[in-house]
Structure 1
Amino acid sequence: MKGLTREQMAQRVAQDIPDGAFVNLGIGLPTRVANYLPPDREVILHSENGILGMGPTPDPGAEDPDLINAGKQPVTLLPGGAFFHHADSFAMIRGGHLDICVLGAYQVSQRGDLANWSTGAPDAIPAVGGAMDLALGAKQVFVMMEHLSKKGASKIVPECSYPITGMACVNRIYTDLAVMDICAQGVVVREILVDMSFADLQKVTGVTLVRP
């Protein structure tokens, strides 16, 4: 079973971000989405360390060491972009001014609970960052993750076994196999992204899936 590459996943997420949206891309995998936003849309990217108006990743050799996102990765700034205090950045998040945040995850439960900051292992480094604020402050929460863990276990689960970031906060899940929405009726499959049947997708998913 071969899923999408991480770059292909980023391209798929970028397709669903509408024109005029204010969006935060979480640390890790979601930051790749910035490189695939359609050029005919104005999407304003926010970073919790105090940037609004980020562009794609800079070309090799063109990095500015003073211009980084919350994950300490080099970024670019589009015309009209702005810098501001860390506290102001979180006021934007907590004030409900972000339309979408795209976050990575270790697990998502069937009701949309999110676990993305720790595996709970004794040697795990606590690094919740702004994830809790984003999960509750953004109008929509998209999760971008591989469908299966490195051990082959489904990351979509009945109940999260890892520490919870936010309760019932996830709206949509993008994996390397499918796009799914968390709805009142359950986990609804919107699109299968690879050559596999609904039945095959169900076999590798830890919860009962719902056809659209």
Structure 2
Amino acid sequence: MAALVARDIPAGAFVNLGIGQPTLIADHLAPDAGVVLHTENGMLNMGPVAVGDDIDPDLTNAGKIPVTELPGAAYFHHADSFAMMRGGHLDVCVLGAFQVSSHGDLANWHTGAPDAIPAVGGAMDLAIGAKQVFVMMSLFAKDGSSKLVPACTYPLTGRACVDRLYTEYAVFDLGPRGAVVRETFGLTAVELVARLGAPG
């Protein structure tokens, strides 16, 4: 999935990668794409995951995994980082999710369960501030139910903010018309619709 998302990020875009699966995208971006990765903790031009002697404990991604810096990297205050997010300066953000509605509503910070630990982070700021919001998630929950739903049942992060959903079975465009399949993997479109229960 990370390679698919990396393929679809426009050259020269300023991009934030959320915690979890989205952090893997950094390792799939072509060096000549000119994509500039932004981090909430105050870095522009983040590179791929660091290994060996390249590890610097002060340089981490959203998942606190050590990363590299690319030529021209810049550092700034946490407040400035959020100003970039809220001010519409990011072209794309890629987030994980618990649920996404077919119209682009996002639920990714809390399952609503009494014992669940909420994790808001910067997702709300990214969801409303980025020009495009992509989500990477597994399409089905452990019980087999679809996480692409007609309406989210978990607390919302943002309404009608997700433009595209990447899953292991399909890529969807989301919006007022509902979910539109762009491509499928391992299932035909007919099989996919049957398994999803055709969310509107």
TM-score (norm 1): 0.91
Q: Give per-residue Cα distances to partners, 1:119-160, cap 9 Å, x unaligned.
A: 111111121000000000000000000110122110000111
For residues 109 and 183 of structure 1, the distance between their equivalents in structure 2, rounded to whole angstroms, comes to: 9
Name structure 1 gaps, 5 residues minimum: 1-8
| 1:12-59, Cα deviation, whole Å (9 max, x unpaired) | 111001110000000011000000012321100001111111000012
Matching of residues 36-115 of structure 1 within 5 Å: 36-60=28-52, 62-115=54-107
Q: How does 1:54-203 map to 2 (within 5 A)?
A: 54-60=46-52, 62-192=54-184, 194-203=185-194
Following TM superposition, by how much is the alpha carbon of 1:183 offset from its aligned partner in structure 2, in angstroms?
Answer: 3.0
C-alpha separation in 2, matches of 1:177 and 1:146 = 8
Tell me if the contact between 1:50 and 1:89 (Cα under 8 Å) persists in the aligned partners: yes
SS at match of 2:97: coil
State the shift of 1:176 in Å.
0.3
Corresponding residue SS for 1:133:
helix
1:204 matched to 2:195: yes
Aligned pair partner of 1:10 in 2, 8, 18: 2
SS in structure 2 at match of 1:76 = strand
Instruction: Supply the distance in 1 between the matched residues of 2:136 and 2:195 (Cα, whole angstroms).
Output: 17
Q: How many residues align?
A: 200
**2:23 aligned partner:** 31
Q: Which runs of 5+ in 2 are unaligned?
A: none
Structure 1 contact 156–207 (Cα < 8 Å) conserved: no
Shift of 1:67: 1.0
Q: 1:49-88: CA deviations, max 9, x gaps?
A: 1111100001245311111123211111101001110000
Q: Is the CA contact 1:156–1:206 (under 8 Å) kept in the aligned structure 2? A: no
Instruction: Tell me what 1:5 maps to.
Output: none
User: Partners of 1:30 and 1:144 in 2: how far apart?
Assistant: 7
Q: Is the 8 A contact 2:23 2:62 kept in 1?
A: no
Structure 2-normalised TM-score? 0.96
**Which residue of structure 2 lines up, in the alignment, with residue 21 of structure 1?**
13
Identity among equivalent pairs (%): 64
